[in-house]
Amino acid sequence: MKLQGAVCIVTGAGTGAGAACAIQLARKGARVVVNYSRSEKEAKQAVAACELAGGQAILHQADVASDAGCRGLAQAALDRWGRIDALINNAGITKFAAATDLEALSAEDFQRLYAVNTIGPYQMIRACAPAMKKQGAGAVVNISSISGVMGIGSSTAYVASKGALNAMTLALARALAPEIRVNALCPGMIETRWHKERFDADGYAKFKQEYEKSVPLGKAASPDDIAEAALWLLEGAELITGECILLDSGLHLGFGARKR
């Protein structure tokens, strides 16, 4: 896919990896729909950064847990530019809870995480697929997590929602071929506000240090690392579909795998 002039929707694009994806797309000359749910100020800044980078961008508020919101988001792209070439499903939420504490999560916690992390991407793909099918080509990148592969993460509900997203990636890659490619990225730790807001400054520094000691490549992912991989799946991976690519510095090889 040529990103110059392509129309791309990025959900959860106000901050972190989503904002990085939007800005890198704009640098390639793409036309970007910057979606946000609550982070309006940051999303406006992302739009400004996209325009400064040389691309076109519009802002659209929608909660991906709402099917009407997803359909409205797709329609915003069609109303402005008449097509949809790519979708990056980045919007996601979590609740921090120790896996050993079985009382820490309610059914409502699972339902809310599934609504955003699993059903949201499904609804977005469903909203965008007719336009992609009509024009004969399209690509989807689901931002998942190593949690859905290894069964570790911020909570069991988060793990389960990302595992379901990975399985759905395979199912929809089969269902939507040959016109639409569907892949997922499964990062390990990303340097975003999730963990920074979870800890104080010293606690975050220690958490990051311990992570980087435990992974073979010795590095946590930056938002730009995620964006670079997502753009590669859109632009340079024409024969790749149904893949869940581990972007985790080798975390899946086992804790303590790095030579010290």
Q: Which two tokens stand for residue 5?
A: 């002039």
Strands (DSSP E) found in 55-213: 56-61, 86-89, 138-143, 180-187
Among 66, 54, 92, 75, CA closest to 9: 75
Q: Which of 36, 158, 204, 211 is catalytic?
A: 158
Alpha carbon of residue 21 to chain centroid: 9
Helix/strand/coil for 188:
coil
Q: Give the CA diameter of the chain.
A: 55
Q: Are 46 and 27 in contact (CB under 8 A)?
A: no
Q: Which two tokens stand for residue 219?
A: 């590095």
Tell me how far apart the alpha carbons of residues 195 and 142 are, in angstroms, rounded to a whole number: 21
Which element (helix H / strand E) includes 128? Answer: helix 120-135
Q: Phi, psi at residue 172, to the nearest 5°?
A: -75, -25
Please state, as a whole number, how many other Cβ atoms lie within 10 Å of the Cβ of residue 63: 18
Active site residue 36: no
Strands of the 7-10 sheet, one edge to the other? 56-61, 31-36, 7-10, 86-89, 138-143, 180-187, 244-247
CB contact set of 175 (below 8 Å; sequence gap of 6+): none
Q: Which residues participate in catalysis according to the annotation? A: 158
